[in-house]
Structures are given as C-alpha cells and as structure tokens.
Structure 1
C-alpha cells in the first residue's frame, strides 16, 4: 500500500505518530489540501511574484490576481480558515484540532507567504481573527470579524513601538484615553505587519490607557482602529535585508489624535495583556509549523541541486564533495526533532489551551526558527551565488525566517522564561532527593553496611 501523501511532506514516522489522532474530516481535508497545493498553489508561486509590479508606487496598491483567483478556489473547496479550531471557537471555527492543523501548516509553509494567504491562514489576520472571535463584542464581530473570516478585508496588529524596548510590552507608550464617548489614540508604532496592504481596513492597536495603575499588567488596552480613520499615518514600509514584502509590508505608523467610538474598545479597560497573551500563543506556534515546511522545502532543493549531473565539479557530483552528505543528514535529523517539538506544543494547546502550553510553545519558538535558518543556509551554500540571488526562493526565505527570532518575542525572552519555569521545579526535586537519601540510608543500615552518603 502506498503511504499517505503527507509522508512526502513530513515523514513516515511523523505521520504514524499522529494518524490515529486525525478525524475522518481532518484526513479528507489534509488530502484535499495537498492536492490543491501541488496542482494549483505551488506552480503559481513564480507567477504571483511576476504579477507584483516593480514600480514602487504600484506595488503597494496591487491585489495580485493569481492570489485572488486561488482564494476563490480554496473557499469553494472548503480549504478556508483551517487555523481556527472549533473546539476553542465553537461559533466561528472549523472542526480541526491544533495538532491536525500543525501538519497542514507545515505543508503551507512550503509555499512561502502565498500559500497561507490563499487559504486565509496568514498572519497577522489569523491572530486578529482569534482576538475578535474570543474577546470581541457581537457588534465588533459583525463589523470586523465576519469580513476577515470571509477574506473580504485584511488587518494589522499594532503593538511594537519605535524607540521602545518592545520585548517588554509594559514599556509601550502609545496613549489610549477616553474623552466623552470617544477613545483618543496617540502613538508611534513600527514593524506593523499588513499595514501596507490596500485590503487592510482595520488595525488592532495596543497602548497605555492607565499609566498610574499599580499593576504594570493592567495599564494597557486594545482598541479597534479603522485603517482610514483621520490621524492614521502610514509613514513607510520597513525593509528586511532589503525585502519590503509588498503589498503587505511591515510599516511604520503614527497615530495622531485618532478618535474612535467607545464601542471600539476590546474586552475592557486594562485587559490588553490578557488579550495579547491569548493572541500570541497560537500565533507563535503557527509560525513554527510553517517554518518546518520552509526547512523541508530547502532540504528538497538542496537534494536536487547536489544530485544534478549538470552541476558536477572536478568530475564529481556535489554530494561527493566535502561534508555535503553530512549536511543533508544533519538537516534531516534537525527537521525531525523540531517537528516533534511543534506537534507536542500543538497537542498541549488542544488539551490545555495556549495558557497551559506556554513551556512547549516557548521551546518551539526559540528552537524551530534557528533550525530552519541553519537548514536553509546549508541549501544556500549548495547553490553558491545563485542561492543568495532572486533566482531561488532561498534568500527571501532566509530573510523572512530571520525575523522570527525577534518577532512575537525575541529568543532571549523565551529562553529566559523556559529557564525560569525549569527552576521552579527545584523545591520538588530537592524534596524528592532528600526522600531518596533517607531510603538509601535505611537500606544501608538494614544491610549492616556503613554508608558514605
């Protein structure tokens, strides 16, 4: 019997571990997704790049035709909003677990930025939809969530600030204050993903609403801001190693005396940290899922390159030189290990929600992007100068993945948090060790042997 088609994208061992945890619906959706990616999306990647104008002005106003076309096809196939689990969002979600989606997200990760967008599973919209589905009022959901779920609009999440150490979100300075029946926002944000897209109609803005609150984590609030509200000024797109990621972009934005109705406050005053913790946990693991796919795609390209007869040097295939075979083996091992971390985190989210899976999410967040960068770097090396050019996807993938060691919390923060969680186990370990020592001593005394414990 031929293996399930997902094995070509993951591995026999990985699929064997999770297959019995997949519902019939999930298996059917997975098979449908693989077919759609292979027959429609992956072949269209270069066309999507070609349809993006080189003109600096036009590229920020363009809706890429092939992506819009593929979105309609995906929606008709039921390959839509796969990230939103019905278990956590009964009203708006799809009947997939996070574990089931993890495998699908890895496949999406092979298609770069385009594949997740085509099935309405791309950031920052995914996190914003989760926020509105979990915390939004009925009115907010009707006005903003439903159009996002339908793919009619896109969105931005404005948290990171210029001239502020944003890895500690208590440092945020953007002012959010009430004035009568309105909320007034003033602040300077940057690296705001999605803000350059002509389809982006709404920003979720986090700022400081109660700076004198004794609890640092009750000082912040999140407000819904229409993208075309007076005072919203997109200053410029930020570049990542020279890439501007048009038309979505990562923009610098000034909010100058922006006024929105009081009803645009999400959840309540001082609930900002609660909201971002609920938002960032699943978002971090989604990034890791896709990073596994990006690493796997890079390894596949490397395998093709080093076995290409046309690329022989000094009469040998590239894989017959130096440490190439060792690099292939290391890449395979690293991908397999990282995938297990991601699947474990996804399973924990299914069981205990994101708050109960913080350790697993944190470990995956600082391990997986670094792994993927290393695998892609080896692939680049096998391609030589072509690997760092625009003629392969490797350079752009490396640049995008490098941001993940900073985005949604830098590596150092996650490492510190995981380490602190480990240290909390010490009192129990000391107690258990003392109990073991007492038992050892009793056994020596019973045997009549002098113990040197």
Structure 2
C-alpha cells in the first residue's frame, strides 16, 4: 500500500493549511459569538455571516467540493485517500467543513444524488447543493425503534398513482434546523412483505412539502449545535412524485451501503483532526502550568498520556488511510472490515485524547473557555451516529470468524446502521 501523497494533494494540503491560518483559526471565537448572539436574540437557527463570507474565498482558492470523486459535475473531487488528509485538517475546527462545501450530511446526500438520482433530480437538487446555495438532511433514524438495525424502520412509503405517500416520524435529522435546508433524502418501507433487505427504499422529498412538521430540536449533552441542529420530524401524508424514488423500490439498503462508507471515512478523519488539536492543547497547557513544584508537562502521568496519545492517533490515522485506499482500489464491499474498524477506533481514540486534555486543563477543560467539552460531546455522539460501536464490533467479529469457518468473508452480510 502506498500512502505517499501526490504533488497535487501536497499542494492542496499546503493551501488548506494556509487558509486555516489566514481565515479559520482567527475566526473561531467570532463564529461562536455570532451563534450566541443569534441564540440570545431568540433564533439560534440563523446561518452565520462568517461562513457565507468565507465560502467565496474557499472557492477562489480551489478548495471546494473536494469530497466527491468521479463526478462530471464536480471535477475537482478527490479520491477517498486523497481527500482523507484534507478532511483531517477540516476536523481541527468542527464548523470549518461547511466553508469548503464539505460538511455532513450534505456530502453524503450529494454522493447519493450523484450515484443514484435521475438527471432531472440532479439538476433540481444536486446542482444547488454543489454550489453551496442550499443545504439538506438525511432522514433515516426513528424514535420508536432501534435504528442501529435499519430493518426496524417503520416509516411507510406507499404508491398512490403517480405519487408516493410518506408517513412516519424521524429524528436526529442533522441540518434540518437550518433555514437553508431545502431537501431531504428519506428512507422508509415500500413493501413490508419483501425480503428483509428489500423492504426499504429512499426517496427525495422537498423540505417545504405539505405534511412535514419539525416537532423539536434535540440537544446533545446540552449543546444545540445551532445553526446546524438535530431535529425530530413528522411526515404525515406527504406526497411526492413517483420520479423522486432513488433507483427504484427495494433499493434502500443498497443505496445506504454506498452512502455510509465514504461518510465514515470523513467522520473518522475529522475525528483524527480534532484529536490532533486536543493533543496540541494538552501539550501547551501542560507547559504553561506548575503543580507540586514542577511543570505539569514534567509529571510522569502527563508524559505517559502524551506519548500514548501520539501512538494511538498515528495508529488510527494509518488504519483510516488503509480503509480509504482499499475503498478506492477494491471497493466498499471488500473494505467492509476496515470501514467497520475505523468507525470503532477513531471516535474512541479522539474521546480518550480529549478526555486527557480536559484533565490537564483542570476545571477550565469543562468550561466554555476552551473547546474541549464541546469536542468531547460531539465525538461521543459518533460512537452512536452511523452505527453504534457494538454493531460494528459484531460485524468485525463475524468477518474474523468466517475465516475459520470455511466461509467467504465477502459474502458476510454487513448491517446497515445509523445509530440511536
């Protein structure tokens, strides 16, 4: 395996790092001040002026839509391995990905539309998403069932002449609180009597369709994540044209497998980026503070944790790069074990490093004076989002056992899981 980056990617790395130094790091405080001002004014769900100001600068720098490979509509898109290192940099400041039009869930939705939608749907929804003019949400998880097993999904998508009628309740629909969110991709059941993995379908639903109600926002450890947010949404007799179905009835699991693989690479590389940033803060703080007559950095427990953090970050990065390399060269199906492994490893490593950084910061680490508590809350959700650790560990174990049971690991069915 060759992880050496091409001159093109190295140049883009340098460009992105320079962009962060000039525009992202100096504006970290301003972003949260703007969000807090909107919140105090009574409406947290207002897009920040800062990100809208920075988007044109990112486009001018050629740092736009980097995540989408092999798309004629976004020729600048990179392979999974090429994008991985840039995604890690974006992870160092959680809100920064939107500046480059590389934020979830839009990235996964754009990949889904590019791969599986008709040209008409691409013209209607993919083009404005690629332009950064609108945002989107992905509606899969449901409150009434354990969505870690997506076959549990109860939302119904029923054919009625030239339309489908959708009924159900979804939650943790990230991004749906943003007023720029104009389109949903909804997963539901079109045929409850079909095979276990042929019952589900995905359909494109304009966010302003009659019958859609945003019932509430869902805070994460007390954070509202505005202006992005996570919403509970009711769909009651929502009617959309038959042409809005993706690929056809019963293809939802197939689409989900294609959608979630790259998304997990993106999540994991961003986790590594935030772990790197937490390690930096831990080192700086430990050099600034004295306890029991010597720098915290000179305390044995601190040095041990710094060393272990460096080792674990490097291991997580290499495993994620291996998964990205395999997705590019042999495909998601063959890389399914590696994808599952990184989804377990990366968020847990990030959580461990952030937790150690909080310890070094003391009480300040759990305050809003530093970003560590916010980072911890976000990373903790990633042990559930796109599938809980337990489901991925189970899949890894099945693949490992298959080798000793005379089974072909390629034929081991991987769960489609979203978490919660």
Q: Structure 1-normalised TM-score?
A: 0.87
Contact 1:278 1:355 in 2 (8 A): no
Contact 1:238 1:249 in 2 (8 A): yes
1:100 alignment partner, one of 43, 57, 82: 82
Shift of 1:93: 4.2
- In structure 2, the residue matched to 1:337 is 315
- Counterpart CA distance in 1 for 2:295 and 2:191 is 65
Shift of 1:95: 5.0
Unaligned runs of 5+ in 2: 408-420
Query: What per-residue deviation string (whole Å, max 9, x for no partner) do you get for residues 263-321 of structure 1?
Result: 1111111111111110001101110000000000000000000001xx22233111223
Shift of 1:329: 0.5
- In structure 2, the residue matched to 1:6 is none
Contact 2:58 2:64 in 1 (8 A): yes
Shift of 1:24: 3.0
- In structure 2, the residue matched to 1:12 is none
* Structure number, greater radius of gyration: 1
- Counterpart CA distance in 2 for 1:39 and 1:77 is 12
Structure 1 pair 77–143 and aligned structure 2 pair: CA distance change class (3 A): same
For the pair 1:163 / 2:144, whether they are aligned, the reply is: yes
Shift of 1:204: 0.4
Shift of 1:111: 1.1
Shift of 1:428: 5.3
Tell me the secondary structure at the aligned position of residue 216 of structure 1.
Answer: coil
Shift of 1:78: 1.1
Contact 1:167 1:413 in 2 (8 A): yes
* Cα RMSD (Å): 1.5
1:142 alignment partner, one of 123, 130, 134: 123
Q: Which has the higher contact order (CA 8 A, sep 6+)?
A: 2
Shift of 1:227: 0.8
Question: By percentage of residues, which structure has more helix?
Answer: 1
- Counterpart CA distance in 2 for 1:325 and 1:209 is 56
For the pair 1:238 / 2:218, whether they are aligned, the reply is: yes
- In structure 1, the residue matched to 2:351 is 373
- In structure 1, the residue matched to 2:47 is 63
Shift of 1:97: 1.9
Contact 2:275 2:350 in 1 (8 A): yes
- In structure 1, the residue matched to 2:290 is 312
Query: What per-residue deviation string (whole Å, max 9, x for no partner) do you get for residues 45-102 of structure 1?
Result: 1101111123373111x1101111111110111100111122xx34534252211111
For the pair 1:54 / 2:2, whether they are aligned, the reply is: no
How many residue pairs were aligned?
405
Ranges of 4+ aligned residues in structure 1 off by more than 6 Å: none
- Counterpart CA distance in 1 for 2:75 and 2:153 is 32
Unaligned runs of 5+ in 1: 1-15, 430-453
- In structure 2, the residue matched to 1:252 is 232
1:111 alignment partner, one of 52, 71, 93: 93
Query: What per-residue deviation string (whole Å, max 9, x for no partner) do you get for residues 314-333 of structure 1?
Result: 33111223511101011011
Shift of 1:371: 0.7
Q: Structure 2-normalised TM-score?
A: 0.94
- Counterpart CA distance in 2 for 1:65 and 1:355 is 41
- In structure 2, the residue matched to 1:275 is 255
Contact 2:65 2:77 in 1 (8 A): no
1:285 alignment partner, one of 254, 262, 265: 265
Residue correspondence of structure 1 range 185-200 to structure 2 within 5 A: 185-200=166-181
- Counterpart CA distance in 1 for 2:397 and 2:375 is 30
- In structure 1, the residue matched to 2:415 is none
